């Protein structure tokens, strides 16, 4: 019997369709169907100024907008031959890690909700709100930030931000213990999660699976360490690894990543306290402007002589390794923008890690993948 | 209030009403109206109406209680805005569902689709007529009232399965089958656990069972039976951790996926009615019903309606335990649930029967006290 789990289904956490062929309660075959949320972000980008594309990046993955902004902006800066100031790099690192915590908290909430745990769901959402408050205080928005700019970030952190952020980090440190108590100390949790959705290291590499799913299979690959960007080479942290390759292992990896993210945030806050400075490169091509700023006549002139270039970036997004490719042919808009979504690959591999388990196992397994459909369909 | 029972009150009310009406009517009708048959008939109707109203209000208060308790567990407030502390929120919700259009999928079987929820609701409500809430609140001395209550209680899987099957939806069907399997599997340990109580009490009559517990609540000597019974009741009520028939993560809403409006409200209400019945059964069988131990000062047990008061307190505390469990446990899987049911619960229930036999033979246990002799 074929069951359509989606496009409107509580398990999907977004808009996609998991077609499942079952024999009794056992899954025989899986056919993930994506594309319900395709907005043509890559194509739209070709018709926008470089800084205007940032707006779209927030909509690419609505729970990790900052990471996607960062991904795009690295590639765009390479293509435009811009170098952001050091302080901006640290602020980006800070924002990235805050976003990682917020995204993982969102994942935690959704995942435990799939298991039927209502209480930790609300705890996760409550604590995510604190991170969103921080975002609001320095970007003005809770989800769609539009904070990065080609050549730096839009504005500096407000007064007293670092102290507020430290307070939140202290609170979160205590909460992580509570989360683990609510999940790992429960026998039923282990019965529902241990040994489910196993995707071995070999299969992860074959299918191109990245991020926490890959690290849960025991492979220590994290772009923040392996190919550092922003200020990641100047902060200390450990790569979270587990070796169960199952749902519990992914839970452990994400939990550890949140703890490490708190560690990184503390270090960046200390650095930012000590090193004031500009957050936007001083010499910027004027036609970049702020989004929606009128482009002056001299701007067009300058643009004509502007060098061409290509930019490629790959960052460790909360869901996995995202990649961006931006081509600058000297025009006002990028000639071509292309993204690689980690979740697209992670979902596609469901054909490998779902069959053989039961229908009731689908929510925990798919929950452990951390699906964000916005970036799958782009 | 001693002596006045719910039935005697309704009978007096009935006689008063009919007398008043008869006094303004001509002779032949007048005589018929005041005949004992008619008075008794109306008394039964009034009795049922009071019972229905009381049980409905209690059920709705139970939902409010759950929402507020869950809110506290989850660091939020629960319903707040309709009425004081959200007391009227559920009435508003019910009214909203009542106003909604009732629809039926085109391919659904109309008889089963409509009859299923109705029968589920009705069989759940009938139970209130069987269970004694306090002395004088029972509908009569049924020598087998416990057996009758459990028999009616076990109708549910049939109606759930009928409504699930007739909604012609894959999720509903899977949910219905899970529900039937789960309820039937947990029916057995529940009945075995009840047997332990019956052995100690020496009767199937709930009034007798409660009276036996006057100074000797059964939870202590029959702790194993209590655990089995509570776990089984959780499965019967389909609450977390055993709510997999309506596991929303994989089955949308399980067997009530296709239901909306008042039919959905029927299911929802009947679920809480069954939760209330489950809590009441735990109180009746293990926690002494409306009785309080003799060391409780008599001022706390002698005021009017004291029996009902203590009974409701106990019931809500038992339900509070269910809410606590719901707030802290994830959902298990069907095969795990059934394995626990057949492999763990039934041996435990059999063990509890053995323990009950021991209790009856030994009569006195350290710390617990002595069982009163059978039949008195």
Mark yes or no for CB contact B250/A362 under 8 Å.
yes
Q: Name the residue range of residue A341's domain.
A: 41-377
Decide if B34 contacts B19 (C-beta within 8 A): yes
Residue B34: predicted pLDDT:
77
Angstroms from A4 CA to nearest CA on chain B = 10
Mark yes or no for CB contact B329/A191 under 8 Å.
no
Q: List average pLDDT for each run of 10 residues in chain A, which is 378 residues long.
A: 81 84 86 87 86 86 88 89 88 92 91 86 90 91 87 86 91 90 86 87 89 89 88 89 88 92 92 86 65 45 67 90 88 85 89 87 87 85
Record the tokens describing residue B208, joined without a space.
């007798």
Mark yes or no for CB contact A363/B244 under 8 Å.
no
Residues of A with CB under 8 A from a CB of B: 1, 3, 5, 9-11, 25, 112-119, 122-123, 126, 182, 186, 188-189, 191-192, 358-363, 367
Across chain B, mean pLDDT equals 82
Mark yes or no for CB contact A3/B170 under 8 Å.
yes
Whether A30 is covered by a domain: the verdict is no
Angstroms from A110 CA to nearest CA on chain B = 10
**Model confidence at B1, in pLDDT bands (50, 70, 90)?**
very low
Closest partner CB to A10 (pick from B240, B243, B248): B248
Mark yes or no for CB contact B327/A119 under 8 Å.
yes
Closest partner CB to B333 (pick from A10, A186, A360): A360
Whether A6 is covered by a domain: the verdict is no
The pLDDT tens digits of the residues spanning B291-343 come to 777 777 777 777 777 778 888 888 999 999 999 988 888 888 878 888 888 88
Chain B residue numbers with beta carbons less than 8 Å from the beta carbon of A359 are 174, 250
Residue A296: predicted pLDDT:
47
Does position B167 have pLDDT exceeding 70, yes or no? yes
Cα nearest neighbour of B77 on chain A: A122
Mark yes or no for CB contact B249/A191 under 8 Å.
no
Decide if B254 contacts B175 (C-beta within 8 A): yes
Angstroms from A271 CA to nearest CA on chain B = 35
Does position B209 have pLDDT exceeding 50, yes or no? yes
Whether A311 is covered by a domain: the verdict is yes
The whole-angstrom separation of Cα B208 and Cα B373 is 13
Mark yes or no for CB contact A118/B336 under 8 Å.
no
Angstroms from A192 CA to nearest CA on chain B = 7
Chain A residue numbers with beta carbons less than 8 Å from the beta carbon of B332 are 188, 191-192
Angstroms from A158 CA to nearest CA on chain B = 30
Mark yes or no for CB contact A119/B328 under 8 Å.
yes
Residue A299: predicted pLDDT:
45
Residue B102: predicted pLDDT:
82
Chain B residue numbers with beta carbons less than 8 Å from the beta carbon of A114 are 249
Mark yes or no for CB contact B252/A122 under 8 Å.
no
Closest partner CB to B247 (pick from A116, A191, A367): A116
Q: Which of A9, A4, A16 is nearest to A376 (CA)?
A: A16
Angstroms from A97 CA to nearest CA on chain B = 26
Whether A9 is covered by a domain: the verdict is no
Mark yes or no for CB contact B240/A189 under 8 Å.
no
Whether A55 is covered by a domain: the verdict is yes
Decide if B232 contacts B345 (C-beta within 8 A): yes
Residue A301: predicted pLDDT:
41
For the segment B17-37, the average pLDDT, to the nearest whole number, is 80
Mark yes or no for CB contact A182/B335 under 8 Å.
no
Mark yes or no for CB contact B241/A116 under 8 Å.
yes
Decide if B318 contacts B271 (C-beta within 8 A): no
Q: With an 8 Å Cβ cutoff, is B231 touching chain A?
A: no
Whether A248 is covered by a domain: the verdict is yes
Whether A1 is covered by a domain: the verdict is no
* Helix (H), strand (E), coil (C) string for chain A: CEEEECCCCCCCCCCCEEEEEEECCEEEEEEEECCCCCCCHHHHHCCCCCCCHHHHHHHHCCCCHHHHHHHHHHHHHHHHCCCCCHHHHHHHHHHHHHHHHHHHHHHHHHHHHHCCCCHHHHHHHHHHHHHHHHHHHHHCCCCCCCCEECCEECCCCCCCHHHHHHHHHHHHHHHHHHHHHHHHCCHHHHHHHCCCCCCCHHHHHHHCCCCHHHHHCCCCCCHHHHCCCCCHHHCCCCCCCCCCCCHHHHHHHHHHHHHHHHHHHHHHHHHHHHCCCCCECCCCCHHHCCCCCCCCHHHHHHHHCCCCEEEEEEEEECCEEEEEEEEECCCCCCCEEEEECHHHHHHHCHHHHCCCCEHHHHHHHHHHHCCCHHHHHC
Chain B residue numbers with beta carbons less than 8 Å from the beta carbon of A113 are 249
Mark yes or no for CB contact A188/B250 under 8 Å.
no
The whole-angstrom separation of Cα A378 and Cα B22 is 79
The whole-angstrom separation of Cα B96 and Cα B87 is 16
Cα nearest neighbour of A358 on chain B: B333
Mutate to test the interface with B, among A195, A360, A368 (most CBs of B within 10 A): A360
* Count of structural domains within chain A: 1
Give the count of beta carbons closer than 10 Å to the beta carbon of residue B347: 13
Mark yes or no for CB contact A116/B249 under 8 Å.
yes
Record the tokens describing residue B88, joined without a space.
């009227």
The whole-angstrom separation of Cα B139 and Cα B144 is 13
Q: With an 8 Å Cβ cutoff, is B77 touching chain A?
A: no
Chain A residue numbers with beta carbons less than 8 Å from the beta carbon of B249 are 10-11, 113-116, 363, 367
Which residue matches tokens 């908290």?
A105
Mark yes or no for CB contact A117/B247 under 8 Å.
no
Whether A29 is covered by a domain: the verdict is no
Mark yes or no for CB contact B174/A122 under 8 Å.
no
Angstroms from B233 CA to nearest CA on chain A = 18
The whole-angstrom separation of Cα A168 and Cα B200 is 57
Residue B125: predicted pLDDT:
86
Which CATH number covers residue A78?
A: 1.10.645.10
The pLDDT tens digits of the residues spanning B222-269 come to 888 899 999 888 888 877 777 776 666 666 667 777 888 888 888 888
The whole-angstrom separation of Cα B90 and Cα B56 is 12
Q: With an 8 Å Cβ cutoff, is B327 touching chain A?
A: yes
The whole-angstrom separation of Cα A176 and Cα A190 is 18
SS3 B106: coil
């Amino acid at each position: 019997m074929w069951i359509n789990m989606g496009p409107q289904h509580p398990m999907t956490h977004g808009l996609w369709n998991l077609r499942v062929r079952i024999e009794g309660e056992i899954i025989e075959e899986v056919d993930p169907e994506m594309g319900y949320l395709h907005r043509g972000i890559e194509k739209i980008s070709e018709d926008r100024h470089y800084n205007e594309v940032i707006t779209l990046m927030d909509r690419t993955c609505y729970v990790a907008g900052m990471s996607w902004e960062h991904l795009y902006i690295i590639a765009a800066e390479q293509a435009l031959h811009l170098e952001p100031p050091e302080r901006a790099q640290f602020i980006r690192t800070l924002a990235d890690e805050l976003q990682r915590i917020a995204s993982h908290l969102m994942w935690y909430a959704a995942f435990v909700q799939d298991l039927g745990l209502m209480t930790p769901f609300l705890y996760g959402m409550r604590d995510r709100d604190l991170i969103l408050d921080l975002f609001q205080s320095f970007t003005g928005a809770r989800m769609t930030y539009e904070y990065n700019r080609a050549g730096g970030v839009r504005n500096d952190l407000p007064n007293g931000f670092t102290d507020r952020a430290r307070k939140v980090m202290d609170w979160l440190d205590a909460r992580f213990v509570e989360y683990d108590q609510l999940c790992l100390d429960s026998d039923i949790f282990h019965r529902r999660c241990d040994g489910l959705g196993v995707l071995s290291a070999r299969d992860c590499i074959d299918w191109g699976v990245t991020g926490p799913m890959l690290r849960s299979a025991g492979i220590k690959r994290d772009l923040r360490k392996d190919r550092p960007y922003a200020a990641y080479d100047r902060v200390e942290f450990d790569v979270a690894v587990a070796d169960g390759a199952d749902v519990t292992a992914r839970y452990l990896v994400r939990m550890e990543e949140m703890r490490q993210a708190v560690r990184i945030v503390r270090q960046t806050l200390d650095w930012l306290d000590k090193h004031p400075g500009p957050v936007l490169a001083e010499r910027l091509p004027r036609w970049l402007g702020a989004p929606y700023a009128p482009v002056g006549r001299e701007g067009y002139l300058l643009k004509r002589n502007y060098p061409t270039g290509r930019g490629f970036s790959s960052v460790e997004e909360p869901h996995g390794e995202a990649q961006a490719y931006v081509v600058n042919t000297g025009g006002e808009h990028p000639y071509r923008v292309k993204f690689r979504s980690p979740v697209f690959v992670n979902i596609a591999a469901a054909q490998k890690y779902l069959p053989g388990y039961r229908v009731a196992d689908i929510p925990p397994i798919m929950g452990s993948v951390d699906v964000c459909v916005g970036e799958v369909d782009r | 209030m001693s002596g006045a029972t719910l039935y005697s009150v309704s009978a007096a009310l009935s006689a008063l009403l009919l007398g008043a009406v008869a006094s303004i009517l001509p002779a032949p009708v007048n005589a018929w109206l005041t005949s004992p048959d008619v008075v008794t008939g109306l008394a039964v109707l009034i009795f049922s109406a009071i019972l229905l109203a009381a049980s409905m209000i209690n059920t709705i208060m139970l939902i409010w209680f759950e929402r507020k308790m869950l809110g506290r567990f989850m660091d939020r407030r629960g319903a707040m805005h309709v009425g004081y502390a959200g007391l009227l929120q559920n009435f508003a919700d019910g009214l909203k569902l009542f106003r909604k259009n009732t629809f039926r999928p085109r391919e659904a079987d109309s008889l089963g689709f409509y009859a299923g929820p109705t029968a589920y609701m009705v069989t759940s409500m009938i139970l209130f007529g069987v269970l004694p809430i306090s002395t004088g609140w029972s509908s009569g001395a049924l020598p087998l009232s416990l057996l009758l209550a459990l028999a009616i209680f076990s109708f549910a899987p049939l109606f759930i399965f009928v409504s699930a099957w007739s909604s012609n939806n894959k999720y509903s069907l899977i949910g219905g089958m899970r529900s039937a399997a789960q309820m039937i599997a947990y029916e057995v340990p529940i009945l075995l656990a009840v047997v332990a109580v019956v052995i100690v009490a020496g009767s199937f009559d709930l009034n007798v069972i409660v009276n036996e517990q006057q100074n000797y609540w059964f939870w202590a000597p029959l702790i194993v039976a209590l655990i089995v019974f509570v776990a089984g009741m959780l499965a019967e009520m389909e609450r977390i951790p055993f709510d997999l028939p309506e596991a929303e993560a994989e089955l949308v809403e399980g067997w009530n996926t296709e239901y909306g409006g008042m039919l959905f409200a029927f299911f929802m209400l009947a679920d809480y009615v069954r939760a209330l019945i489950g809590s009441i059964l735990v109180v009746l069988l293990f926690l002494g019903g409306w009785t309080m131990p003799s060391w409780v000062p008599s001022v706390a047990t002698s005021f009017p309606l004291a029996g009902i008061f203590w009974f409701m307190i106990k019931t809500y505390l038992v339900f509070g335990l269910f809410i606590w469990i719901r707030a802290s446990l994830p959902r298990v899987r069907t095969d795990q649930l059934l394995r626990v049911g057949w492999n763990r619960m039934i041996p435990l229930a059999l063990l509890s029967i053995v323990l009950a036999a021991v209790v009856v033979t030994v009569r006195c246990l350290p710390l617990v006290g002595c069982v009163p002799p059978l039949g008195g």
